[in-house]
Amino acid sequence: VTAVAKRQDMVVHQRDPLNAESPPEVLGAAMQTPLDAFYMRNHGPVPKLDASTWRLRVGGDVDCELELSLDKLQERFPPRELTATLQCAGNRRAGLIAVRDIPGEVPWRGGATGTASWRGVALRDVLAVAGLGSEAKYVAFLGADVSEEADPPQPFGASIPRHKAMAGEVLLAWQMNGRPLTPLHGAPLRVVVPGYIGARSVKWVTEITARAEPSENYFQASAYRLLTPELDPDLAPPGSGVALGAIAVNADILSPADGSTVAAGPVEIIGYAFAGGDRHIVRVDVSDDGGARWRQAELIDPPAPWAWRRWRVTFTLPRGRHQIVARAWDSAAATQPERAEHVWNPKGYANNAWPRVNVDAV
Amino acid sequence: VTAVAKRQDMVVHQRDPLNAESPPEVLGAAMQTPLDAFYMRNHGPVPKLDASTWRLRVGGDVDCELELSLDKLQERFPPRELTATLQCAGNRRAGLIAVRDIPGEVPWRGGATGTASWRGVALRDVLAVAGLGSEAKYVAFLGADVSEEADPPQPFGASIPRHKAMAGEVLLAWQMNGRPLTPLHGAPLRVVVPGYIGARSVKWVTEITARAEPSENYFQASAYRLLTPELDPDLAPPGSGVALGAIAVNADILSPADGSTVAAGPVEIIGYAFAGGDRHIVRVDVSDDGGARWRQAELIDPPAPWAWRRWRVTFTLPRGRHQIVARAWDSAAATQPERAEHVWNPKGYANNAWPRVNVDAV
């Protein structure tokens, strides 16, 4: 927990396991989130791994099983680097909790997301050497972190479809923002699945398994699923609802803060927008009257296939109460649903309703 | 226009050029839309092409230019077949016109879409033989149909990004639902770009050009773009707004019809849902009270990567007026925006707001 103590401004929701989100000012300040302010979402204690004895096993439906040390991985495969936004499936859950309570889940605001450059090898290159079997429709990852939250307790795991695993962008990464991965972020090696919910980017990865079916791990089969509103997550059988993967178009307002007081006159509104899958952000609209009239925000960051785009716009606010609203559009002309009550779901995932911030101009 | 006369039930919006949509009952009756009821969207007269003299030229930034007859194309490349939904970017425009008029555009209801099996060769296979240059970030198509609607008049054209062109699903097709392509649907050869707006699936294709930039054709650079609401399409310079490509999650109610009278008691609601890009439909909710309470519909069609899923649900409606509403969810947990006024745009594209149907139960 030392790393958290280093930054007093992290929003710590839970200490054991450690769950903390980034302060909005830090997210707004740069396209790449500083390593020590990057959100941390854990389901168990941070495992203590020795990089010199750690091994990655690649198996399941492959022609040739592999066991790789970190040195061997780095020698054998060409390095790849890309900038990608990670986003927790529960990011912005607080907006859903405001509609109806979601007990037992972390009440993330909009800071369970961040953008970093990642350096590692392409999962595709490793799988090409292993030789994916024709029945291998999924590729599963297993971490070294054991979660007591799972039923039964088990290491954190996930899986992604074959087409995603074989797309070039999925990395096995050992560097973040040009620095060695820290233990808190998955050292010695983590998966980075750009465009997918953070839960698929398994930290402390030790096993990669080619499979005919999605992983049966608790965090793939039971958690991180979009359930219909009437279901009780504790009673719904594994496989209920829909496993989350690609991330829908989303945005949040980073500044000003909800409920804050600002000086009447020009007020700069700053936020981020992100779309996963094979999409990117093409436009962000902002309103200062609750969504009746809109203006286009300036997109600060250039378009990039796997990264968010921060945005800003200045409104001249007269004295009084104003509701600032934002909505992003992705490259498929998809935009966000208006109201959180319409995306509410029992586990509180994937809230991409319009973010709203009330400010008093004085 | 003979083909239209064959079916009295097609909804003909315009005869020259021919623009007609499918009747809702036909769309609801089968996963594959009958050839003679498939929507037709034209920007000029149907060209009269002789398949024996027709040639396809492949050029631009390629290692090796190709000129292919239909026979040569069929001999040289392996046949591919897939089922894909085509959907006009203007499908459901009538719902936007109800918010604010959109002069000069076809007032499509929800029938400018349909699903067919397509047989042809993979564009990827053809481009692999031609050898795409490293600077070729786009692949452009040109048809033989000359449009007077364009400024200046020109053949219909489009382009798609390289990654899509090299994905296996883009076909150069000569068969539709197991039968030879008809002149009205692009014979002898048309492009089929699954998951993208119909306008990219160029009919009567004669030229394929690898390029560093998107096509400068009117229908790529000026039309089929999402403009912000305040822009005047006649004054906006080419390149304004965002070129449409992948299709956002959408749905429509096919039965009962809006404004119809039904017998009080059990009423079956039928519709379709579709999501383009790399997504598919995972769930459809239907409400009989304007969106306050929802029930999950049964998905009639199996999940398929490039095709819609029809759905149905039965409500027991007491006497009175009821508003039926539907909303679909795609594999990225994206759902539809609630109100058409929030997706209104000057050319009336990409309306994916909740479909609403008012019925009187008597």
One-character DSSP codes across B168-227: TT-EEEEEETTEEPPGGGTTT-EEE-TTB-GGGS-SSEEEEEEESS---SHHHHTSSEE-
Low-confidence ranges of chain B (pLDDT < 50): 1-2, 5
Contacts of A76 (CB under 8 A, 6+ apart): A68, A129
Phi, psi of A76 (to 5 degrees): -80, -30
Contacts of B9 (CB under 8 A, 6+ apart): B23, B25, B26, B37
pLDDT 10s digits, A341-355: 999 999 999 999 999
pLDDT on residue B1: 44
Q: How far is B124 from chain A (nearest CA, A)?
A: 16
Interface test with B, best of A193, A226, A250, A354 (most B CBs within 10 A): A226
Q: How many CB atoms lie within 10 A of CB A348?
A: 28
Q: What's the burial of A52, exposed, middle or buried (CB within 10 Å: 0-12/13-18/19+)?
A: exposed
User: How many Å from the N-terminal Cα to the C-terminal Cα in chain B?
Assistant: 40
ipTM over 0.90: yes
Low-confidence ranges of chain A (pLDDT < 50): 1-2, 5
Interface test with B, best of A240, A247, A285, A329 (most B CBs within 10 A): A329
Q: How far is B181 from chain A (nearest CA, A)?
A: 28
| Closest partner CB to B335 (pick from A277, A296, A343) | A343
**For chains A and B, what is the number of CB pairs under 8 angstroms?**
93
CB A152 within 8 A of CB A207: no
The percent of residues above 90 in pLDDT, for chain A, comes to: 96
Look at A278 and B244 and tell me if their CB atoms are within 8 Å: no
Q: Return the closest-CA partner of residue A316 out of A264, A253, A254.
A: A264
pLDDT on residue A239: 87
Look at A335 and B332 and tell me if their CB atoms are within 8 Å: no
The Cα–Cα gap between B352 and A329 comes to 13
CB B143 within 8 A of CB B209: no
Helices (H), chain B: 2-6, 24-29, 70-76, 93-97, 123-130, 162-165, 218-221
Look at B278 and A338 and tell me if their CB atoms are within 8 Å: no
The Cα–Cα gap between B266 and A261 comes to 54
The Cα–Cα gap between B108 and B340 comes to 14
pLDDT on residue A1: 44
Say which DSSP state A327 is in.
E
A44: tokens are 């168990």
CB B113 within 8 A of CB B274: yes
Q: How far is CA B242 from the centre of its chain?
A: 17
pTM of the model: 0.95
A95: tokens are 């907006």
Chain B residues whose CB is inside 8 A of the A336 CB are 337
pLDDT on residue B73: 98
| Closest partner CB to B228 (pick from A277, A296, A330) | A296
CB B159 within 8 A of CB B211: yes
The H or E element containing residue A219 is helix A218-221
pLDDT on residue A6: 64
| Closest partner CB to A331 (pick from B163, B229, B245) | B245
CB A81 within 8 A of CB A119: yes
Look at B342 and A283 and tell me if their CB atoms are within 8 Å: no
Which residues in A have their CB inside 8 Å of a CB on B? 163, 226, 228-229, 242, 244-249, 276-279, 282-283, 285, 291, 294, 296, 327, 329-339, 342-343, 349-350, 352
